[in-house]
Structure 1
Amino acid sequence: MILPILAAAAEAGGLTGSFTLGMAGAGAGIGVGLVGAKAAEAVGRNPGAFGRVLTVAILGMALAEAIAIYALILAFGGR
C-alpha cells in the first residue's frame, strides 16, 4: 500500500522534498520520544546510573536528530 504512495510522491517533483522532510521529521520525533522514554525508565529502575544513562540518551537523541538534519539538506539542497 505504501509503495504506490511513494512512487506518486517521487513523480511529483515539488512534493518530494516535503515528503522526505516530513517522513524524516516523523521518524526523528518518534526516535527522540523512544529514547527519552527508555532513559526515564532506566533511571527509574537504577537511579545510581543517572550519569551514564544521560550520556547515552543525549547521544541517541543527537543521532536521531541528525537524520532529520540530513533530510533537511536533501530536501532543500541540490539533487
Structure 2
Amino acid sequence: MTLELISLAQAAAAHAPDAAAAAGITGSITMGLGGGGAAIGVGLVGSKAVEAVGRNPGAFGNILTLGIIAMALAEGLGIIAYLGGF
C-alpha cells in the first residue's frame, strides 16, 4: 500500500508542469469566450441601434447615448472575463 502511494506521488510530481499548462489553457478559454461574448454583444447593440435610428431618425441622440452605454457595459464584461482568466 505504501509503495503504491509513493509511486502515485512520484507520478503526480512528474506531471506537475502539465497541470500548470492545463490551468493556463482554461484561463485562455475563459478569456476567449468572454471576448467573443463581448464582441457579439457590441455587434447586437450596434445593429439594433442602426435599426432604431432607421425607424425613428428624430430619436438619434437618445439612441446614440443608450447605444454607447450598452456597448460600454458589454465591453466591461469582456474586460472582467479577461482579468478573471489570470
The question of a shared fold, defined as TM-score above 0.5 by the shorter chain, is answered with yes
Q: TM-score, normalised by structure 1?
A: 0.79
Q: TM-score, normalised by structure 2?
A: 0.73
- What's the offset of the Cα at 1:61? 0.2
Unaligned runs of 5+ residues in structure 2 are: 1-21
**Matched pairs, number:** 65
Unaligned runs of 5+ residues in structure 1 are: 1-11
- What's the offset of the Cα at 1:72? 1.4
Identity percentage over the alignment? Answer: 63
- Which of structure 1's runs of 4+ aligned residues deviate more than 4 A? none
Q: CA RMSD in A?
A: 0.7
Aligned residue in 2 for 1:54:
64
The SS at the match of 1:63 is helix
2-structure distance, mates of 1:13, 1:75:
10
1-structure distance, mates of 2:49, 2:62:
10
Aligned residue in 2 for 1:75:
85
2-structure distance, mates of 1:67, 1:16:
18
